[in-house]
Amino acid sequence: MVVGIASVAFVAAIGVAAFLRPGSDGGSVHEVGGCAVVSAPGPEVATSCRAARLSGVDLAAADLRLAQLERVDLRAADLSDAVLYGADLRRADLRGADLRGADLHAADLRAADLRDARLSAADLSSARLDGAELDGADLSGARIEDLDAPDTLLDPPPIALRSPDGRPVRTVLRLALPTGVTAPRCTDRVVTAAVGETTVRCRLQTDARLGGRLEVPVVVTVSGPTG
């Protein structure tokens, strides 16, 4: 199925930049696992395969910018070097998928299952990953600048402590991060926090040449003595 997209809505969403990025030039539609893939999408037409079963398909280097792929089963699919700029991948099953080198800039991956996915050298800048599963995922060399990833392994959970005597409490930060992501200044960092809320800024980073850094907060809350 091919879906029409109003030009005004398109400009409001991510702008004409989506179609200035490199992609296919064929302009045809071809079937992949029962999904009609538009080889060169434009402002008025893009691939739409919501809830399709595409596990194991070969979509390497496919131009899927702005594609509607919500709830699609893409387990173990080959999406290496695919262009998924601005694509809707909410609740997609991407377990074990090969996304190495994929362009996921501004993609919507909220609640997607990315367990064991290979995302090395992928561009995740400005993407949304709220609630996405990242256990076992490899983000080595991935671009993560401006990534929005609450409730994921890239969002350190708050730390709650108690001070029986009201004095500052010391704790050690230990972050559980995906493969390929480090936090050199926060790993095993000793923090002394007074009663109340202390926010520690941590810089997550990959070995990407550009865009491999993301600032995240770690909130430490210390409650004082009661009564």
Contacts of 6 (CB under 8 A, 6+ apart): 44
Do 148 and 183 lie in one domain? The reply is no
pLDDT in tens, 206-218: 999 999 999 999 9
Provide the residue-wise pLDDT of the chain in tens; the chain has 227 residues.
444 444 334 334 454 455 445 544 445 788 888 899 998 887 778 999 999 999 999 999 999 999 999 999 999 999 999 999 999 999 999 999 999 999 999 999 999 999 999 999 999 999 999 999 999 999 999 999 999 999 999 999 999 999 999 999 999 999 999 999 999 999 899 999 999 999 999 999 999 999 999 999 999 999 998 74
Both 142 and 190 in one domain: the answer is: no
Residue 139 and residue 209 share a domain: no
| Parent domain of 131 | 1-152
Distance CA 143, CA 214 (A): 9
Collapsed DSSP state (helix, strand, coil) of residue 9: helix
Report the candidate in 75, 86, 82 with the shortest Cα–Cα distance to residue 60.
Answer: 82
Tokens of 59: 């979509």
**Any idea which residue has 């395969």 for tokens?**
49
Tell me the pLDDT tens digit for each residue of 152-183: 999 999 999 999 999 999 999 999 999 999 99
Verify that 64 and 126 share a domain, yes or no. Answer: yes
Let me know whether 38 and 123 are in one domain: yes
pTM for the full predicted model: 0.84
Residues 94 and 205 in one domain: no
Return the closest-CA partner of residue 103 out of 67, 149, 65, 131: 65
d(CA 188, CA 186): 6
Instruction: Tell whether 116 and 34 lie within a shared domain.
Output: yes
Asked if 187 and 98 sit in the same domain, the reply is no
Number of domains in the chain: 2
How far apart are the C-alpha atoms of 48 and 67, rounded to whole Å?
Answer: 6
Do 113 and 184 have their domain in common?
no
- Are 14 and 113 within one domain? yes
Q: Which two tokens stand for residue 106?
A: 């501004």
